[in-house]
Chain A
Amino acid sequence: NAGVTQTPKFQVLKTGQSMTLQCAQDMNHNSMYWYRQDPGMGLRLIYYSASEGTTDKGEVPNGYNVSRLNKREFSLRLESAAPSQTSVYFCASSERLGSTDTQYFGPGTRLTVL
């Protein structure tokens, strides 16, 4: 059981470049999430997917798009990267959008936009 995996682990982009962050989980979870974490701050929700085939905006969706490719995979795309998107990105999954809300996190992608 790998849990939640993310690729790449590190990435440096130039302003205006695009890239896709990949996330996969092998726990048969229904719900998946993308967060960003800036230095000294908590996690802010970018987008989430309650179940396969659905996606919704979180707190900070501007500049990002997502795709729930299948039950296992949830990708995050930056169409035109900006320095303000320099952050650590975490993918997470949970069994369902239920009251216990236990989320399992991937190791993160450290993104720098120059």
Chain B
Amino acid sequence: GQSLEQPSEVTAVEGAIVQINCTYQTSGFYGLSWYQQHDGGAPTFLSYNALDGLEETGRFSSFLSRSDSYGYLLLQELQMKDSASYFCAVRGTGGFKTIFGAGTRLFVKA
């Protein structure tokens, strides 16, 4: 089967850097994705890693280590608008089903 683990909550200060970790178990592996969801809103795609290493998109970066079945999302120069839930998602080669983690709620304080 497939499963993902990520922390339920993280709190950080405006302007700081925060890292949200995700560990996964999957039969086969295509890649790890990250989505952001504000309260009452729809998930929006942030980043995708298929290979080991760091992918950078503006203030957001995502890292993957396939050998450790581990990835993280790094948010820099935190802003109040970054307060949201962040989901990691994985699709294994055992089927075309994307499995989402339960989400990490990020609180950014002034």
CB pair A101 B30 closer than 8 Å:
yes
Interface-facing stretch out of A20-28, A43-51, A70-78: A43-51
The digit string for B50-77, where 1 denotes a CB below 8 A from any CB of A, is 1000000000000000000000000000
CB pair A90 B48 closer than 8 Å:
no
Interface residues of B in 75-102 (CB under 8 A from A): 87, 89, 91, 96-102
Q: What is the interface size of chain B, counting residues whose CB is below 8 A from a CB of the partner? A: 22
Query: A42-B101, A42-B102, A43-B87 given as contacts; is B48 within 8 A of A48 (CB)?
Result: no
Query: A100-B31, A101-B31 given as contacts; is B42 within 8 A of A44 (CB)?
Result: no
The total of interchain contacts (Cβ-Cβ below 8 angstroms) comes to: 57
> Per DSSP, are chain B's interface residues mostly helix, strand or loop, or mixed?
strand
CB pair A105 B30 closer than 8 Å:
no
Q: Which residues of A lie under 8 Å from residue B30 when comparing CB positions?
A: 99, 101
Contact of B45 among A35, A90, A103, A107 (CB under 8 A): A103
Contact of B33 among A33, A101, A105 (CB under 8 A): A101
CB pair A107 B96 closer than 8 Å:
no
Q: Please report B residues at the A interface, Cβ cutoff 8 Å.
A: 4, 30-31, 33, 41-45, 48, 50, 87, 89, 91, 96-103
Q: A42-B4, A50-B96, A105-B42 are in contact. List 16 more A-B contacts (CB 8 A).
A: A35-B100, A40-B102, A40-B103, A41-B103, A43-B100, A45-B98, A48-B96, A58-B97, A59-B99, A90-B43, A101-B30, A101-B31, A101-B33, A101-B48, A101-B91, A101-B98
